[in-house]
Structure formats: structure tokens, C-alpha cells
Structure 1
Amino acid sequence: MPYKDILVFLDATGDTPTRLDLAITLAGQHEARLLGVDVSTPAAFEGQWKDQATGLQDLFLTRLGRAGLDGEFRVADRSTGSWKALYAHFADLVVATQRHESNAEFVLPAVPRDVLLSAGVPVLILPPDWRPQPVGRNIVLAWNASREATRAVHDALPLLARAEKVTLFEFAPPADRIESAPRLMADHLRRHGVEAELFTWPDLDDTSPVDALFSCLDRQGSDLIVAGAYGHSPLAEGLLGGVSEDLIHNVSMPLLMSH
């Protein structure tokens, strides 16, 4: 199913313009409606952040009009701070930025973690201070045959179909116990018109899953990670057997996660 509604979170921090630019690019590529949701806290309307916070609607509508896209601006309920008030249920993809302690008080606390774990929608998480660059040309799928990883792969299909290169990464047990699941998933993706290259890293207890994954990313020259998110709020269990928390807090490139 293609993305028809893409939601981007807007706030008073300096990450919003580049996040909005990426969301506009994705909406244009997928012919989707773009929903801009203001998730600023009351504190953002005080002091040095006030002008940015009060100008979010104009920023969104101006850039939306310049791109010739269909969209709407909405304001989250600041009184609750709950993910339920952030409109994520009504989108196919959410674009957010990882929280940073330097400005976390100006963004509603449900963004992005509670939205990821509770809304049932894939979330594309950008690193703080991310600078514009192509996203989705070269994608690595973090695969471990779990429900969450499977969900992430299917949620990413509209992006995978447009990618120039897709790598299916597995952090695997020793060779005599490696299963055929990656090959079966690669065959399934082929039915969707996606050719995926397999990259298996044997688990020999000499490196962590995250280190192995980032080594794969470096070798492949990737620009997007697709992974399943495990656990409940807070993220308690991890990607590939214990590292979702490490991955989401050390993301150095765009990361699409599903729960």
C-alpha cells in the first residue's frame, strides 16, 4: 500500500526546517497529503523560542504551497502530552527527530518514542542536527525473522520500491544454525519488485549486533536503516536481540522503525 498521508512533527527547534524539507520531498515522491502537526510545549512560546514557535504554521503552509502539495496544519493538544493527541493514527508514515537533551523541554514528551511504540505507524526518525541529503536510495533492512522486523519491512515497501539498492542484514548464529529466513524474505521482496542483497554477520560473540550493523552500513554506503522496535514504553527489549535502545539513541542516519 503506498503512502497517502505523511505526517511531520513541527516544533520550535532548529531541526524543524530540514525535517519539513524531507517530509515535503517524500510527499512529492509518493503523491501523498502532508500533515504538519505542531508538537511544541507551552515552554516553547516563551523567551528565545517564541518567534519560531509562533511561526510554525506560516513556515509549514509557505513551504507546502511552494511545493504545490496538498496538506493540513494541526496543533497537538498541549494539555495532555499524550501520543493519542498527535494525529499519528491518521497517517501512513510519521517523520520525526530524535530527542536531544538541549531542547527536549520544548517538544511534547511523546515524540518520538511513545508514538513509535503506541500508534501502530512507522516512524522515520532523523538524528539531531541532521543536514539535508538523499534518503532511501540505499537501504539496509535489519532482519531477524521477528514480528517487529517483518512489520518494518512491509511498512517500508513504498520506500524499498524506489530504492536503488536494498541490503537485508542478519546478525546470525553460527553457520551450522543459520536459517533460510533471509533468503525467503528476499524472495518475498522480489515478488514486490524489490531486489535485496543478503548480508549475514555470524554471531561469534566477538562483536555486538549494533557494531555489526553499522559496519554493514559503512560497507554498503547506506542512507537509511529499516528496523523493528521491540518492547513497551520505555523501549525495553532490542533490535536483533537486545539493542533497540542503543540503536534509537545512537542513530547517525535516518532510521525507519515499526512496532
Structure 2
Amino acid sequence: MPYKDILVFLDATSDTPARLDLAVSLAQEHGARLLGVDVSTPAAFEGRWKDQATGLQDLFHARRNSAHVAGEFWAADRSAGSWKALYAHFADLVIATQRHETNLEAVLPAVPQDVLLSAGVPLIVLPPDWQPQPVGRNIVLAWNASREATRATHDALPLLSRAERVTLFEFAPPADQMESAPGLMADHLRQHGIEAELFTWPDTGENSLLDALFSCLDRQGADLIVAGAYGHSPLFERLFGGVSQDLLHNVSMPVLMSH
């Protein structure tokens, strides 16, 4: 099933134009409607962000019109702290940027983590200062047979089906191969017309899962990670560390995550 509604979060920071460019290009590729949602805080309409904040609607429609993409512009309820005010549950795919110290004041706090955890919609999360480039041509799918990884795989099918190369990455395969069964997932993807190359990294204790994953990304020349998010609770990951937190704050690579 293709993406028919792609939602992009808009704010007054310098990351918005590149994020909007990606959203426009994906909407063109998928024949989707583009939904632009202003997630600026009240503080963004004061001081150094004011001009950018007040110009978001014009920027959105200018980029959308020049690409001949259908779309709608909405503004989030700035007084509501909930992800429910951000319209994410009306989309097939959401595009956001990592939360970082330079955008905390300007962007509503539900972006992106609360949306990822609660909206039931896959997110493409971009690193700060990301520059426009193709995304989804060469995808690495982080696979571990969890509910979250399974959800992310199926949420990413419209992208996987258009990719030139898909790598199914597995770290530390268990003794019981039926537990993760990457070959069976590769066969399932094949039913969707997707040929996936298997990349297995045994856990010898010398590398963390994240180090192994990024080594795979480098070797494969990937431009997108697909991964499940938060098999443990966010509090657990903050206290004890976790791959989801690390991926959500990685500084080099777009990642599609589902929970």
C-alpha cells in the first residue's frame, strides 16, 4: 500500500527548508498529498525566529506549488502539549528533525519522540543540519524479529519497494535461528518484489550493536536506516542506554523508525 498522505513538521529553525525539500520529493515519488504542520512554539514568533515563523505557510505553499504537489497547511495548537494536536494520526509517514539544543525553544516538545511513541505512524527523523540528498535509494533494515522491527519493516514497504538496494542487517543471531530468521524475512520481502541482501554481524563482544550497524551502513553506502523503536520504555533507555535513543540522536544518517 503506497503512502498517500505524507506529513512534514515545519518550524522556524534552519533545518526546515531541507526537511521540506525531502517531503516534497517523497510526495512526488509516491503521488501523495503533502501535509505541512507548523509546530512552532509561541516563543518562535518573537526575537530571532520571528520572520521564519511567520513565513512558514508561504514557504510551504511555494515549494509545494513549484513541485505540482497537492497539499494542506495546518498549524498545531500551541497551547496543547500533546502529540494529538500535531495531526500525525492522519498521515501515512511523518518527517521530522532530531531534537537538539539549537531548536528546543522554537519547536513544540512533542516533536519527535512523543509522536513516534504514541501516534502509530512511522517517522523519518533527520539529523540537524542535514543537507538535501536522495533518501531511500540504498536502505539498511535493522532486523531482530521484535514487534517493533516487524512494524518498521512493513511501514517502510513503500520505500523498500522503490529502493535500488536493500540490506537486511542482523546483529548477534541467536542459537535458535527461528528466533530471528532473517532468511524468512528476506523471503517475505521477495513476495513484495524486494530483493534483500543479508548482512550478519556476530556479537563477539568487540563491538556494540550500534557500532556494527554503522559499520554496515558505511560498507553498503546506505542513505537510510529502517529500525523499530523502543522495545524497552524510553525511561529505561534514558537510564541504561539503548539503541533507539542513540538512533534518534545520531548525527549522520536519516532513520525511519516505528514503535
- Name the TM-score, length of structure 1 as normaliser: 0.95
Q: Which secondary structure state, in structure 1, belongs to the residue aligned with residue 105 of structure 2?
A: helix
CA distance in 1, matches of 2:80, 2:255: 27
1:100-139 to 2 correspondences below 5 Å: 100-139=100-139
Q: Which secondary structure state, in structure 1, belongs to the residue aligned with residue 124 of structure 2?
A: strand
Q: In structure 2, do the counterparts of structure 1 residues 104 and 233 end up closer, same or farther at CA, with 3 Å as the change threshold? A: farther
Q: Which residue of 2 aligns with 1:19?
A: 19
Q: Which residue of 2 aligns with 1:163?
A: 163
Question: How many residues are matched?
Answer: 256
Q: In structure 2, do the counterparts of structure 1 residues 232 and 109 end up closer, same or farther at CA, with 3 Å as the change threshold? A: farther
Q: Which residue of 2 aligns with 1:257?
A: 257
User: What amino acid sits opposite 1:147 in the alignment?
Assistant: R
Q: Which residue of 2 aligns with 1:187?
A: 187
Q: In structure 2, do the counterparts of structure 1 residues 235 and 25 end up closer, same or farther at CA, with 3 Å as the change threshold? A: farther
Q: In structure 2, do the counterparts of structure 1 residues 104 and 49 end up closer, same or farther at CA, with 3 Å as the change threshold? A: same
CA distance in 2, matches of 1:213, 1:13: 30
CA distance in 1, matches of 2:46, 2:242: 40
Q: Which secondary structure state, in structure 2, belongs to the residue aligned with residue 187 of structure 1?
A: helix
Q: In structure 2, do the counterparts of structure 1 residues 233 and 118 end up closer, same or farther at CA, with 3 Å as the change threshold? A: farther
CA distance in 2, matches of 1:230, 1:148: 7
CA distance in 2, matches of 1:249, 1:159: 22
CA distance in 2, matches of 1:131, 1:243: 24
CA distance in 1, matches of 2:73, 2:40: 13
Q: Which residue of 2 aligns with 1:223?
A: 223
Matched, 1:214 2:221: no
Q: In structure 2, do the counterparts of structure 1 residues 199 and 155 end up closer, same or farther at CA, with 3 Å as the change threshold? A: same
Alignment check: 8 A CA contact 1:167 1:196 kept: yes
Matched, 1:67 2:42: no
CA distance in 1, matches of 2:24, 2:235: 29
**Identity across matched positions, percent:** 80
Q: In structure 2, do the counterparts of structure 1 residues 152 and 25 end up closer, same or farther at CA, with 3 Å as the change threshold? A: same
User: What amino acid sits opposite 1:68 in the alignment?
Assistant: H
Q: What are the ranges of 5 or more consecutive residues in structure 1 without an aligned counterpart? A: none
Q: Which secondary structure state, in structure 2, belongs to the residue aligned with residue 230 of structure 1?
A: coil
Alignment check: 8 A CA contact 1:231 1:237 kept: no
Q: What are the ranges of 5 or more consecutive residues in structure 2 without an aligned counterpart? A: none
1:23-102 to 2 correspondences below 5 Å: 23-102=23-102
Alignment check: 8 A CA contact 1:153 1:227 kept: yes
* TM-superposed deviation, 1:236: 3.4
Alignment check: 8 A CA contact 1:114 1:233 kept: no
Q: In structure 2, do the counterparts of structure 1 residues 235 and 169 end up closer, same or farther at CA, with 3 Å as the change threshold? A: farther
* TM-superposed deviation, 1:245: 1.1
Deviates further, 249-258 or 115-124: 249-258
CA distance in 1, matches of 2:258, 2:197: 21
Alignment check: 8 A CA contact 2:45 2:53 kept: yes
Give the root-mean-square deviation of aligned CA atoms: 1.6
Alignment check: 8 A CA contact 1:236 1:245 kept: no
* TM-superposed deviation, 1:234: 3.2
* TM-superposed deviation, 1:252: 1.3
* TM-superposed deviation, 1:244: 1.2
Alignment check: 8 A CA contact 2:128 2:251 kept: no
- Name the TM-score, length of structure 2 as normaliser: 0.95
CA distance in 1, matches of 2:79, 2:242: 34
